[in-house]
């Protein structure tokens, strides 16, 4: 099958910083290995075609003169909404052009930034739900009364309704979106394997050599629980004077300031044991994960996050949040630990419990975590993705339009 993926981010792009890009990279590599032909259509600054590790990538320029005019006329009050509209329109044109060159059997659009808003109607489509704007706006404590914020919620909803089928990686988001739209959402876990790049120890050695450390990695913001960590970081570092807390990822900010600045301020006299390594490529990130005592990911809301998959696949103890989809991966005190959502006292108490575990128990939990992620190997998951045969969400009866169209 020739399968198109429309996305606002991919691992080839200089500014990518999300699980969506990582998921697509792994899925595309697996599809190639199984004899399929994935084509990535990614929003970019310029139009360009190239091959990346055997996968065809088509960069699609975001520019549209009409949108720039509208932005000026409206005083940039709809900046984000117009960006989404412009991006989806240009992705649609690029996909239609490629379809004329060589038929595309199906398009998978990303829910993030409503890439399927102007879907190519002549090609069957699914939307993979990687986020849901109403929940994400709340978790980030964003203003929701503005017209721009209201409009992007409507654009996302419209893009979801226009797809022939919907699916998501977690039961949590599948059920929430299914109920919001009154439409079935299938659950298909993401294919996962560790991409075997030659590892580079430099980031770990430069900042953390010889130190015991807890690790947070991902987008450093309120959504992923960085604010919750800030609330307890001073106390945990005070209690454990040889412990460091390392952060890897892009700083999402906190009430007009860098989040890392807020975290260091909360660490008080122990701020020198707070380390921010910035954004790291996989070959530098993996040694940092391997060297961590445990990985702390207390997201307010999430969707089977790539960070959790990555850490568990590398045999690490993960502390995740209840109600954030981590319970779909973690069996409590068997393959990891769960804390109450947005509960600093529970996080602090659980970290204390984990830090008291002996090496044998840490290895045992890490091995159980690794085995759990083995169940998501591409050889098991990709056939479900191709056939559209995942679990049902609470709303029964997945759309069959997609199957009818692809077999017609």
pLDDT tens digits for range 338-364: 999 999 999 999 999 999 999 999 999
Q: Is the torsion defined by CA of 217, 222, 227, 228 positive or negative? A: negative
Q: How far apart are CA 298 and CA 110, in angstroms?
A: 24
Q: Report the length, in residues, of the chain.
A: 408
Straight-line distance from the first to the last Cα atom of the chain, in angstroms, rounded to the nearest whole number: 14
pTM: 0.90
E-only strand ranges, 24-139: 37-44, 48-52, 55-61, 106-110, 125-128
Average pLDDT over residues 294-299: 98
Domain boundaries, the chain: 2-193+378-403, 202-374
**Pairing state between β 2-7 and 37-44:** parallel
User: Edge-to-edge strand order for the sheet containing 37-44?
Assistant: 48-52, 55-61, 37-44, 2-7, 106-110, 125-128, 165-168, 186-187, 391-392
Q: How far apart are CA 402 and CA 398, in angstroms?
A: 10
Q: How far apart are CA 78 and CA 84, in angstroms?
A: 10
pLDDT tens digits for range 14-61: 877 678 999 999 999 999 999 999 999 999 999 999 999 999 999 999
Among 81-95, 186-200, 229-243, 292-306, the range scoring the smallest mean pLDDT is 186-200
Q: How far apart are CA 139 and CA 39, in angstroms?
A: 33
299: Cα within 13 Å, side-chain hemisphere: 23
> Do the domains at 2-193+378-403 and 202-374 have one common CATH topology?
yes
pLDDT of residue 197: 74
Q: How far apart are CA 316 and CA 192, in angstroms?
A: 16
Distance of alpha carbon 374 from the chain centroid: 19
- Report the alpha-carbon angle 283-248-329, nearest 5: 85
Radius of gyration of the chain (CA): 21
In contact, 324 and 302? CB cutoff 8 Å: yes
pLDDT tens digits for range 196-252: 778 999 999 999 999 999 999 999 999 999 999 999 999 999 999 999 999 999 999
Does the domain formed by 2-193+378-403 have CATH 3.40.50.2000?
A: yes
Q: Which of 368, 308, 333 is nearest to 172 (CA)?
A: 308
In contact, 272 and 264? CB cutoff 8 Å: no
Does the domain formed by 202-374 have CATH 3.40.50.2000?
A: yes
């Amino acid at each position: 099958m020739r399968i198109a993926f429309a996305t606002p981010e991919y691992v080839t792009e200089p500014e990518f910083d999300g699980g969506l890009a990582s998921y697509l990279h792994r899925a595309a590599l697996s599809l190639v290995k199984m004899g399929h032909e994935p084509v990535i259509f990614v929003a970019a600054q310029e139009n360009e075609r190239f091959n990346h590790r055997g996968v065809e990538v088509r960069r699609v320029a975001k520019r549209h003169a009409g949108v720039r005019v509208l932005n000026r006329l409206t005083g940039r009050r709809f900046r984000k909404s117009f960006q989404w509209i412009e991006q989806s329109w240009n992705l649609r044109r690029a996909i239609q052009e490629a379809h004329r060159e060589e038929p595309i059997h199906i398009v998978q659009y990303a829910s993030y930034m409503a890439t399927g808003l102007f879907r190519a109607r002549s090609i069957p489509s699914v939307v993979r739900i990687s986020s849901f704007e109403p929940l994400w706006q709340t978790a980030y404590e964003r203003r929701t009364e503005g017209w721009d914020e209201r409009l992007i919620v409507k654009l996302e909803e419209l893009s979801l309704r226009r797809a022939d089928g919907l699916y998501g990686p977690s039961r949590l988001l599948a059920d929430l979106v299914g109920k919001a739209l009154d439409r079935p959402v299938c659950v298909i876990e993401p294919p996962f394997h560790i991409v075997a790049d030659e590892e580079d120890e430099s980031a770990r050695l430069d900042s953390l050599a010889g130190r015991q450390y807890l690790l947070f990695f991902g987008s450093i913001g309120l959504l992923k629980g960085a604010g919750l960590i800030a609330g307890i970081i001073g106390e945990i570092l005070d209690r454990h004077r040889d412990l460091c807390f390392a952060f890897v990822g892009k700083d999402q900010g906190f009430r007009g300031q860098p989040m890392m600045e807020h975290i260091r301020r909360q660490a008080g006299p122990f701020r020198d044991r707070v380390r921010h390594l910035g954004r790291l490529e996989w070959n530098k990130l993996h040694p940092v994960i391997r060297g961590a005592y445990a990985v702390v990911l207390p997201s307010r809301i999430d969707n089977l996050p790539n960070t959790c998959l990555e850490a568990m696949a590398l045999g690490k103890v993960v502390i995740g949040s209840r109600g954030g989809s981590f319970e779909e991966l973690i069996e409590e005190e068997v393959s990891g630990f769960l804390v109450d959502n947005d509960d600093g006292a529970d996080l602090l108490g659980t970290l204390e419990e984990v830090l008291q575990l002996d090496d044998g128990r840490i290895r045992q939990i890490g091995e159980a975590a690794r085995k759990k992620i083995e169940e998501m190997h591409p050889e098991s998951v990709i056939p479900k993705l191709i056939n559209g045969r995942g679990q049902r969400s609470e709303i029964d009866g997945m759309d069959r339009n997609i199957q009818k169209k692809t077999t017609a």
